[in-house]
Amino acid sequence: MEQPKSKPQPPNNSEGATPVTIRPAAAADLVSVLAIEHDSPSAAQWKNSDYAKALNEPTRLFLVAEEEADNRVIGFLVASTATEEWELENIAVSPAARRRGIGRALMNALIQQAQHRGALEIRQEVRVSNSAAQNLGRSAGFLPEGRRKGYYRNPREDALLFKYLTRTRQVRT
Ligand SMILES: CC(C)(COP(=O)(O)OP(=O)(O)OC[C@H]1O[C@@H](n2cnc3c(N)ncnc32)[C@H](O)[C@@H]1OP(=O)(O)O)[C@@H](O)C(=O)NCCC(=O)NCCS
């Protein structure tokens, strides 16, 4: 299904921020995606081939955030969309571009797609120590769901589970 481009909401502290476009990822973006992941140790660490595969899978949503001024890719998000329960698998923003609302813009685009395509919920697991990702999720409307003990390795750590209920789900229940 064609994924529409969307403009991020301006961040709260948007003074001087340059506009960004959220669009589906393409093969030419993979170098930037891997560089951002490399600079983001708390992101899920995937192989190049995993991202390449995700580009062509109909059951994955793979978005990038592109700086309009110079077309640089400065963030990305990958989600599994196989069932009515979507899962946010990875999200990262280039360290130099953080706290500009890019992460929230990617999350908003994910939520918009999930609503549009009839998903009931979006799940996310986050390391207990990753307060930036937890706060980003909360600010986008994700709710805490529980905790999975010792879920992560290197270092071993609990996962906090979050869930976003789409409008479809809210109407059904
Ligand atoms: C998590 C991440 C994607 C957030 O991206 P971002 O573009 O900086 O986020 P935004 O600017 O859109 O921030 C939105 C909200 O998230 C929260 N937030 C973002 N970064 C935060 C931080 N370092 N500390 C606390 N809260 C934070 C805030 O509530 C923020 O709203 P505010 O700026 O109005 O206070 C980014 O920090 C990142 O790439 N981290 C490394 C990768 C990672 O850990 N991914 C998650 C794997 S589960």
Question: Would 12 be classed as within a structural domain?
Answer: no
Q: Do residues 92 and 132 make contact, with C-beta atoms less than 8 angstroms apart?
A: no
Apex 51 CA angle, 36 and 121, nearest 5: 95
For 15-39, what is each residue's pLDDT tens digit?
446 699 999 999 999 999 999 999 9
Question: Would 15 be classed as within a structural domain?
Answer: no
Report CA torsion sign: 117, 108, 92, 73: positive
Q: Atom of ligand 1 at shortest distance to CA of 127?
A: 48
- 6 exposed, middle or buried (CB, 10 Å; 0-12, 13-18, 19+)? middle
Question: Tokens for 63?
Answer: 């978005």
Could you tell me the distance, in angstroms and rounded to a whole number, from the CA of residue 103 to the centre of ligand 1? 6
Question: Tokens for 129?
Answer: 């120590």
Q: Confidence class of residue 106 from pLDDT cuts 50, 70 and 90?
A: very high
pLDDT of residue 3: 52
Could you tell me the distance, in angstroms and rounded to a whole number, from the CA of residue 149 to the centre of ligand 1? 23
Cβ contacts of 4 within 8 Å, gap of 6 or more: none
Q: Confidence class of residue 168 from pLDDT cuts 50, 70 and 90?
A: confident
Question: Would 10 be classed as within a structural domain?
Answer: no
For 130-156, what is each residue's pLDDT tens digit?
999 999 999 999 999 999 999 999 899
Alpha helices in the chain (DSSP H): 30-38, 48-56, 102-116, 131-140, 167-172
Residues 96 and 67: their CA atoms lie apart, in Å, by 12
Question: Would 88 be classed as within a structural domain?
Answer: yes
Instruction: Assign 3-state DSSP to the chain and report helix, strand, coil percentages, each to 5.
Output: 30, 35, 35
Could you tell me the distance, in angstroms and rounded to a whole number, from the CA of residue 136 to the centre of ligand 1? 5
Question: Would 108 be classed as within a structural domain?
Answer: yes
Pocket test for ligand 1, best of 104, 162, 164 (most atoms within 8 A of CB): 104
Pocket test for ligand 1, best of 80, 99, 142 (most atoms within 8 A of CB): 99
CATH assignment of the domain containing 41? 3.40.630.30
Residue 65 has pLDDT above 50, yes or no: yes
Question: Would 6 be classed as within a structural domain?
Answer: no
Q: Tell me how many domains the chain contains.
A: 1
Domain that holds residue 156: 20-172
Could you tell me the distance, in angstroms and rounded to a whole number, from the CA of residue 125 to the centre of ligand 1? 15
pLDDT of residue 167: 85
Residue 2 has pLDDT above 80, yes or no: no
Question: Would 11 be classed as within a structural domain?
Answer: no
Question: Would 9 be classed as within a structural domain?
Answer: no
